[in-house]
Amino acid sequence: MLSIERLYNFNLKDFCTIKIGGIGKVVYFPKNVDEISYLIKEYGFEKIFPLGIGSNVIFSDGFIDRVFIHTKNLKSYEIKKEKNDFYLMLEAGVSFKTINNIVKKYNLEGFENLSGIPATVGGAVAMNAGAYGSEIFDIIQEVWWVNKNGEIIHSKKEEIKYSYRYSQFQEEGFVYKVKIKLKESDKNISQIIKQHLLDRNKKQPLDMPTAGSTYKNPPNTFAGKLIEQVGLKGYRIGDIGFSSKHANFLVNYSNAKFEDLIKLLTLAEKRVKENFGIELEREVKIVE
């Protein structure tokens, strides 16, 4: 086996922002696309789970017999300028904070609505992350990824299947690198980003361990509004609860248990279905 950095029997709480979870079998930290390909061929794609900062994932308690591939060593990027357009080549582990720094430095337009999302590039592309009416596929040009057979694929945007909070990579492969297109702006991009971050801090429980948006917004309404209308805003079971600041955010108040979290999700889904006939669809990924 290749000598890839790895960690056995690791604490999953340390690999997700909501700080819930038991023990993971092994996590690898590949440093290039060939190592990702090797791991997928070695273990099989169905056994693999990609990890970035873990901002939209929740792990069960106990032992999880999965092979995790973490992108912390995939942080390189390139910037190319053509007239007023900037093309950013970003590996999967590049954080949105890093992209923020780039767009503020060059005053680039197109990323500002996504600026406050706690994400890395790979996870954001896989789930087509979005905010303020924008999504990452608005600016994506190309994606390099590894398919289920370990083959390295290069796809243009128009060849990729994606929709609201979804892309084909959730089932079909591991995102390795992307190319995005931004342009020089006559707006004050730094100020716009600053305002978005202030808005997020005001409306979302960013000072607490959370997994971001719990549910996708159903058509023509908001998941948080529905959860609030069925009386669950601020409601908690043990140390897990829906935030009193934003009902679509789960908050770990201290030492939340996965069992209580599932009870809370089941309750919310049941009440919303009974009251509005709407089936809430989870945005967070549950890994058991």
For residues 264 and 237, is the Cβ–Cβ distance under 8 A? yes
The one catalytic residue among 165, 167, 228, 243: 165
Rounded Cα–Cα distance for residues 170 and 287 (Å): 13
Task: Give the sign of the dihedral formed by CA 44, CA 48, CA 144, CA 3.
Answer: negative
The one catalytic residue among 115, 213, 228, 243: 213
**Can 213 be counted among the known catalytic residues?**
yes
Identify the H or E element spanning 199.
helix 189-203
For residues 197, 201, 204 and 206, what is the CA-based torsion angle, rounded to 10 degrees?
100
Which residues in the chain belong to E strands, given as ranges?
6-11, 23-28, 48-51, 57-59, 63-70, 77-82, 85-91, 108-109, 130-131, 134-135, 140-147, 152-156, 162-163, 166-167, 173-184, 210-213, 236-237, 240-242, 249-252, 285-287
Rounded Cα–Cα distance for residues 227 and 268 (Å): 7
Which residues are catalytic, by number?
165, 213, 283
